[in-house]
Structure 1
Amino acid sequence: MEFETLTRDIDGVRTVVKAIGKGPAVIALHGAATIEGYDWARGLADRFRIYLPFHPGFGESAEAPHIAGMQDMVVHNLRLVAALGLDRPHLVGHSMGGWMAAEIAAVAGERFGKLVLNAPAGLNHPDHRGADLSRIPPEEFPAYLAHDAAVAARYFPGGSECPSAEAFVAAREKEGPALGNILKVHGMGHPNLGRWLSRIPNETLIVWGDRDRMLPASQAPLWQAAIPNARMLIIEEVGHFAMQEDPRTVTAIGDFLAT
């Protein structure tokens, strides 16, 4: 089964969406970069129709210099769901995409089915701080993204899943300013996000790798406590890239969405 490429114009921004599979619709939002790709979605394609949009300025989507914070991304994605003609799709988000999905659900959760937050960013709790990216040497990034650093290394220059060093650098140079636009107001989160989570009406699964060095799994109970209808799944011996490091993570997400 191969990925399809869909294109939609959202407020003048050419937005590219990869899609695969048949069944109930799932929107899956990527994190602060597209390093790890989207091949993990094959693990759900036998049960669901997975839509994987590139955020404006990321991957194959066009740049959107007007983006001035996460609220713009919330509106962008709500309009994208409408443009795709989807009726109450499930919503999945990883890392920054988890923060994005949580804000979407807090303001428009009734437009979606179930919610999966996979190691979501955004809370910035002072007792459970994430890694300071500015202090991580480039050669150590794979070890922050996966407990088995070799798994994440596949997506970096020299790895089997990285097309070329030139392409890798070009993608980061494109995505850096786009990320900066999202983070320019409050950084990687919002000071009131914890107050908003109680508005989420969706049945929610919080997924976290217990060896996550990017965002600590000790945050998971905070999310579960704040969202009224949430449960928690801790995956042992995996890091931030839990879906890539252990395919059983993807299976567990599919089982949650299917029940």
Structure 2
Amino acid sequence: MAAEFETLDYEIGGVRTVIKAIGAGKPVLFLHGAATLEGFDFARGLADRFRVLCPSHPGMGHSGDAPHVADISDFLIHYLDLLDALDLPEKPHLIGFSMGGWLATELAAIARDRFDKVVLMAPAGLNDPAWPATDLGAIAPQDFPGYLAHDVNVALRYFPDGSDPAAAEAFGAARGRESETVGRICAPLGMGHPNLRRFLSRITNPTLVVWGTEDRLLPAGQAPLWVDALPDGRLITVEGVGHLIAQERPEIMAGIGDFLSN
């Protein structure tokens, strides 16, 4: 029987924090990107070997509002407090995707002893001028799916098709709520930190960087910069895949699981 998701609820610093959990085994903490539209079904690809914990960030997804959030440091404290509340039986692995990759980088840099291995999937945050991220505000809404996936049909699965006005309204409200939270996080310095490359030198954990070669949001040319700055970094590039790596190429999760297991 295939593993199914459980819903776990915690009150962390006055914020209702909802975790979608699946599988059994060594724990893996997954930090999502700047939206939750694609959901967490990809975690099934790890659930045969790991207990995957997928929290929604404060003010995003299934979690409660977090009007106090002023910048990324509030998320860092939130997740350190969440780890305390979880009281896991062993150090979890840490995976971060996109904005969650930036968050995972800062979290591992300040608390590397609390994690085992680290995986950064198309991480945001480095902001290297030679490989600039795409300005999200410059993308027309109708074009956004094509920026998320090389095969636009994969991304379109997660967008309203126009047949259900109520669903479209709910989708818009959810994205608006998440965008407001992300805007506050990015207000001080943008989507990242000017010293993030310096932070990477603190992450002595074995770290895997995973990037799609056709990523139109965060160019794959950034990938070697991350790996070179990590004391124990390695790289997997996924050919013919855009930003939504796990959704376009679900089998990549088996390779990530192998890295975490070995």
Instruction: State TM-score, norm by structure 1.
Output: 0.97
- How big is the shift at 1:175? 1.1
Alpha-carbon separation, structure 2, partners of 1:124 and 1:140? 23
Contact kept in structure 2, 1:153 and 1:159, CA below 8 Å: no
> SS of 1:139's equivalent?
helix
Matched, 1:51 2:53: yes
Q: Are positions 1:240 and 2:243 aligned together?
A: yes
AA aligned opposite 2:120: L
**Equivalent position SS for 2:201:** helix
Q: Structure 1 residue 158: deviation in Å? A: 1.2
1:141 pairs with 2:144: yes
Residue 43 of structure 2 corresponds to residue 32 of structure 1: no
- CA 1:159–1:113: 2 relative to 1, 3 Å: farther
Counterpart contact for 1:208–1:217, Cα < 8 Å: yes
Indicate yes or no: 2:256 matched with 1:256.
Answer: no
The secondary structure found in structure 2 opposite 1:61 is coil
Distance in structure 1 (CA, Å) of the matches to 2:156 and 2:237 = 23
Letter in 1 for 2:5: F
Scaled by the length of structure 2, what TM-score is found?
0.96
Q: Which residue pairs with 1:189 in the alignment?
A: 192
Structure 1 match to 2:83: 81
CA distance in 2: counterparts of 1:155 and 1:23, whole angstroms: 29
Q: CA–CA distance in 2 between the matches of 1:10 and 1:52?
A: 15
1:52 offset after TM fit, Å?
0.2
Instruction: Determine if contact 2:209/2:233 at 8 Å carries over to the other structure.
Output: yes
What amino acid maps onto 1:180 in structure 2?
G
- Quote the residue 1:109 is aligned against: 112
Q: Which residue of 2 aligns with 1:180?
A: 183
Question: Is the contact between residue 162 and residue 168 of structure 2 (CA under 8 Å) also seen in structure 1?
Answer: no
Superposed, which structure 2 residues align to 1:201-212 within 5 Å?
Answer: 201-212=204-215
| Equivalent position of 1:20 in the other structure | 22
Shift of 1:196: 1.1
Q: Distance in 1 between matches of 2:162 and 2:24?
A: 31
For residues 89 and 191 of structure 1, the distance between their equivalents in structure 2, rounded to whole angstroms, comes to 28
Query: Matched residue of 1:164: which SS?
Result: helix
Question: Amino acid of the residue matched to residue 138 of structure 1?
Answer: P
Q: Distance in 2 between matches of 1:41 and 1:175?
A: 21
Report the Cα distance in structure 1 between the residues aligned to 2:93 and 2:107, rounded to whole angstroms: 12
Residue 224 (1) aligns with residue 251 (2): no
* 1:217-257 deviation digits (Å, cap 9, x = unpaired): 00000000111000000000100001000112111111111
Q: Distance in 2 between matches of 1:196 and 1:242?
A: 25
* Unaligned residue ranges in structure 1 (runs of 5+): none
The structural deviation recorded for 1:159 is 8.5
Q: Aligned pair 1:4/2:6, yes or no? A: yes
Given that residues 214 and 240 in structure 2 are in contact (C-alpha distance below 8 angstroms), is that contact kept between their aligned partners in structure 1? yes
**Can you list the C-alpha shifts for 1:131-165, whole angstroms capped at 9, x where unaligned?**
111111111111111110110011011189xx921
Q: Distance in 1 between matches of 2:106 and 2:148?
A: 24
Whether 1:164 and 2:160 are equivalent positions in the alignment is no
**SS of the residue 2:111 aligns to:** helix
RMSD, aligned CA: 1.5
Match among 93, 100, 124 for residue 90 of structure 1: 93
* Gap runs ≥5 in structure 2: none
Which of 117, 126, 131 is residue 129 of structure 2 equivalent to?
126
